[in-house]
Amino acid sequence: MSRPAPHSQPPEQAHVVIVGAGFAGIGCAKELAKHDDVRVTLIDRHNYHQFLPLLYQVATSQLAATDVAMAIRKEFRKHANVDVKMAEVVSADPTALAVRLNDGQEIAGSHLVLAAGSQPNFFHTPGADQHAFPLYSLQDAERLNSRILTVFEDADRDPALVEKGALNFVVVGAGATGTEVAGALAEMIRDVMPSEYHDLAIQRAKVTLVDHGDAVLGPFSPHAHDYASKALERDGVEIRLGVSVKEIGPGHATMSDGTTIPTRCVIWGGGLMAAPLAEKSGIAQGRGGRIDVLPDLTVADHPRVYALGDFANVPGPDGNAFPQLGSVALQAGRWAAKNIRADLYGKPKAAFHYHDKGIMAMIGRNAAVAEVGKHRHELHGAIAFVAWLGVHVVLLSGVRQRVDAFVSWAWDYFTKSRGPQVLDRSDVARIDWGDDEQT
């Protein structure tokens, strides 16, 4: 897309309202922040941006929460044209280009960008919304971390609780999220917990990965499926494919094959859907509750409304929607900003073109898979592990986060110890071990 001539002026000063400070919202705001003739209001219910691909490492004590959270205001402190608001958006009006906050305040602009992110999709599984532990926010990661530590503490105090599933961990979904958390948890049990809880972890703890599909890391190549499965099984993970979870109770998970696993920790990586704002946006929802957008990322019949990231179904060149990946969201955010600029100067908006750099997933120490570039050159093992580390260090927003994360990874790699293993979530740190009739 060509940039406007330096002497040209937009017919009006743009005021872009961006809902959500995820990859898409941050990418859009950063691009617009470069231009003084655009005013941006960036709204998020947190005052930090959370690096979602690393949440599982917070959950398994590899990283601290501060390693994956970036203060939004700090990111834009040098840009006077960006106003950050910490508030919850409860509804949107695409015609008025306005949003309503939970305190009743309305904020309207000349353009509206909806990038409110996602929420777990439990697919109407009974009990999942009450008893499963999703992993789609920093709070989710901290809650899961506390539950993992709680069951070890309780089993250490009363070994009889092991028979009630205290050390059974069930991971639902063998996509990237499920595979990464299963691998990290198995490694934690094998390398870290024995020094904290003697031999209790290795002897009694068990991780089960469940998926209704026929492969681990489905979007990857068949070779990667095989590599990932073997790496997980080598670390002691039981893989059950072709099986789905039919019901989750406070102390058990029932499978589609009729078996029941006693457990106090079911980790949900089984899918996501658009955040609740999608239902209150006045816009028709498509697959996954997401908003379907046109190739230029705008909403049909609303040329100044954009939907991005996990909040949208963005059509790809093959007609199918792009996957919900951070790289897609970040690039779409930047692209939307450029289209907004083009629109201001009366120039045509361009269809989104995604630069596919590949996909990767971490399985464990020296075990990762990566498919890089347009032709999906495959990397497995230690070289993919190093590539994964490098890419994620670069993607982390702040210099401090990069340094802290790299130091934590290096310490974990060479010492096989982790931290912080501190129980600080009282809502999940107390378990009523008699509240499930099936255990």
Question: Looking at the annotation, which residues are catalytic?
Answer: 180
CA 319: distance to chain centroid?
24
If you ran DSSP here, which 8-state letter would residue 280 be given? G
* 3-class secondary-structure state, position 57: helix
Specify whether the backbone of 210 is left (phi greater than 0), alpha (psi in -120 to 50) or beta: beta
- The type of residue at 96 is A
Measure the CA–CA gap between 49 and 97, rounded to whole angstroms: 24
CA 298: distance to chain centroid?
23
Tokens of 356: 């596919």
Measure the CA–CA gap between 74 and 401, rounded to whole angstroms: 13
Measure the CA–CA gap between 58 and 51, rounded to whole angstroms: 11
Contacting residues for 149 by C-beta, under 8 A, at least 6 apart = 61, 421, 422, 423, 429
Helices (H), 345-381: none
Contacting residues for 244 by C-beta, under 8 A, at least 6 apart = 210, 211, 212, 255, 256
Measure the CA–CA gap between 332 and 324, rounded to whole angstroms: 11
Measure the CA–CA gap between 423 and 428, rounded to whole angstroms: 9
Measure the CA–CA gap between 160 and 174, rounded to whole angstroms: 31
- Strands, DSSP E only, in 272-424? 272-274, 291-292, 298-299, 302-307, 312-313, 358-364, 367-372, 377-380
**Buried/exposed code over 379-405 (b: 16+ C-beta within 10 A; e: otherwise):** bbeeebbebbbebbeebbbeeebbebb
Contacting residues for 233 by C-beta, under 8 A, at least 6 apart = 239
**Phi/psi of residue 176, nearest 5 degrees:** -60, -45
Q: Do residues 24 and 329 make contact, with C-beta atoms less than 8 angstroms apart?
A: yes
* 3-class secondary-structure state, position 78: coil
Q: Estimate the crossing angle of helix 23-33 against helix 326-344, to 10 degrees.
A: 40
